[in-house]
Chains A and B, each alone.
Chain A
């Protein structure tokens, strides 16, 4: 039972981190209808900046610079590449983001090389024990930080002018533009927000118990894709639910691995994708996604 609760809590904590990444992904999709396959490399960029700077300027300033850095990289991608595309087909733009991803990931993995970079977080490998249940402090921090950021984001999305213009642009770009919403700024800010959320997620993907920032971190970040898809690409609620489902599934599949040996080693990495496929079989638009209806 203790194991179960510990795994559940660990899964929820990882899930909230995945939700952060998926949220950024969904924000870009809502604002610009572009599926951003370069998201994992934005995350890697944020993590890399933090890892490189934390020795010189301390952890918190480094994290701040990392977040800002990822936001800048995101906006730069939007400004230099996405905005230049004049066609109407958004699936072609998705392929462009794959090109951007190849560029960014190659550069970052080349810089990281075979190293494992520490991010210098203050929690280290300390544990928190409540009753029988032991959980790493980093996991608690991840959950609290993610919950906080998601709340702030959702409130901003609901009540600020920025949020309103974002939602208007998602609803109907032409009308929004006629009402004075500047679509360029909306999509620029979406990319910046997505980048900074990814940078925070990078921190929590690389702290204890994971060894640190390495090449494989971008693979871990990829799990946010099934999270976003199984929740529904155009739904912020879906991103949260999807993130949590992916986190908990992964945690249980890894934790109970010894009972699941017939499924082979490393099944935990695969489980989120299988859940996604199962959900898509029943609900092709994801759990909370808008079903596409067309009048003919």
Chain B
């Protein structure tokens, strides 16, 4: 059995350089808020939130082979769930909004659980369907989500959305009141940066644990040969439903983080384009691994920001509204093409590039 599943190769001899790489990388990430300005921190935060969501989708689509086009629905559940749990009831933009006014840390936990529960409600479908059937069935979630977001005005604020309460942990507010640390003023982006890093780290490690352990083997077995997996005693329907729930919880956490970054949630954001972006992330980065999700998320989330920032000096990219190709469109061309190119020429995604080509070729020959 062990040679048919995709067991991660033990890279024991290369432990040390990799450990140094990790150390340098984490030090760099921890130091960045002291050097970058707000724009880049926001971009980085988006990439982190996207990475958490993409890890969830990669568990579902990459590792278990269940296509989901409804990921943005669960992001919306997380984002709006947080707003409702943490927000106060009151009037905003002339609209009466309901909020439970719970402590914000509890609201985060509840929002993630709510996203999981929403995924669980979908389990009669998620457990039974696969492939394109599930993909299109999850498409329904996006339309249901949009409909609810626009119509349940007293919860979601309707078209205009609603404000996101500031996260507060043990009396420490993640807001714009400036705290000066080492002569650097810390605003919301700088503070959230560390919260985001922590969430990403925990989410990544947990997903890695799931993938490397018994559940991961079972999930890969379901993806590679559903019937054989069933014969070997993997409860296929239960696993599919469970992975769906887990992936929606990741999406919920990503949604909370995105809401905190935006400081305002609007329904338009959680549409189909967002769901397609998440699929693009995991395909471009590499299906079925945590690293793939993170790399892909960084690629897809940072690309529009990079193009916007440097649109003056880039050929072919014009400012929004001037009739040419806008940065948003340019980045969509790029990752649309990247999906096609990666699947055709680089199965395994961008993370495969890190393996030295020579070693890969020599292994293929032997």
Contact = CB atoms under 8 A, between A and B. Distances in A.
A266 B340 CA distance: 35
A100 B340 contact: yes
A271 to B, nearest CB: 10
A85 B276 CA distance: 21
Contacts of B125: 277, 280-281
B344 A98 contact: no
Interface in B309-349: 325, 329, 332-333, 335-340, 343-344, 347
Contact of A102 (B133, B136, B276): B276
A87 interface: yes
Given A267-B147, A273-B139, A294-B227, A99 B340 contact: yes
Q: At the interface, is chain A mostly helix, strand, loop or mixed?
A: helix
Contact of B343 (A37, A85, A264): A85
Contacts of B129: 280, 284
A104 to B, nearest CB: 8
A21 to B, nearest CB: 13
A296 B231 contact: yes
A81 B344 contact: yes
Interface in A38-70: none
A148 interface: no
Nearest to B140: A273
B140 A274 contact: yes
B343 A99 contact: yes
B227 to A, nearest CB: 5
Contacts of A110: 325, 329
B307 to A, nearest CB: 13
Contacts of A281: 124-125
B231 A96 contact: no
A84 B344 contact: yes
Nearest to B139: A225
Q: At the interface, is chain B mostly helix, strand, loop or mixed?
A: helix
A226 interface: yes
A91 B124 CA distance: 21
B89 interface: no
B276 A276 contact: no
Interface in B192-208: none
A267 B150 CA distance: 11
A35 B135 CA distance: 10
B137 A99 contact: no
A96 B338 CA distance: 10
Interface string A243-280: 00000000000000000000011110110011011001
B143 interface: yes
Contacts of A92: 287, 343, 347
Contacts of B329: 106, 110
A95 B344 CA distance: 11
Contacts of A270: 143-144, 147
Given A100-B336, A102-B276, A102-B335, A94 B147 contact: no
Contacts of B152: 264
Given A106-B333, A265-B151, A266-B150, A222 B139 contact: yes
Contacts of A229: 132-133, 136-137
A185 B190 CA distance: 57
Nearest to A29: B132
A228 B143 CA distance: 17
A37 B279 CA distance: 13
A233 interface: yes
B100 to A, nearest CB: 23
B67 interface: yes
Interface in B277-328: 279-280, 283, 287, 325
B233 to A, nearest CB: 13
Contacts of B132: 29, 35, 91, 94, 229, 233
A100 B337 CA distance: 7
A128 to B, nearest CB: 32
Interface string A74-110: 0000000100110100111111101111110011001
Nearest to B65: A91
A260 to B, nearest CB: 12
A111 B325 CA distance: 10
A225 B140 CA distance: 10
Give the most central of B67, B280, B325: most A CB within 10 Å. Answer: B67
Interface in B26-46: none
B128 interface: yes
A75 B347 CA distance: 24
B143 A269 contact: yes
Contacts of B336: 99-103, 106
Interface string B253-287: 00000000000000000000000100110010001
Nearest to B127: A284
Contacts of A274: 140, 144
B131 interface: yes
B123 to A, nearest CB: 11
A106 B332 CA distance: 7
A101 B340 CA distance: 10
A22 B70 CA distance: 21
A195 B296 CA distance: 31
Given A94-B132, A100-B340, 15 more contacts: A37-B135, A81-B340, A91-B65, A91-B131, A92-B343, A95-B339, A98-B279, A99-B337, A102-B339, A106-B336, A233-B132, A233-B133, A274-B144, A276-B136, A280-B128
Interface of B: 65, 67, 124-125, 128-129, 131-133, 135-137, 139-140, 143-144, 147-148, 150-152, 227, 230-231, 276, 279-280, 283, 287, 325, 329, 332-333, 335-340, 343-344, 347
5 contacts: A99-B338, A103-B332, A266-B147, A273-B139, A281-B124
Q: Nearest 10 pairs between A and B by C-beta?
A: A99-B339, A264-B151, A102-B336, A35-B132, A273-B140, A103-B336, A99-B340, A106-B332, A284-B128, A229-B136
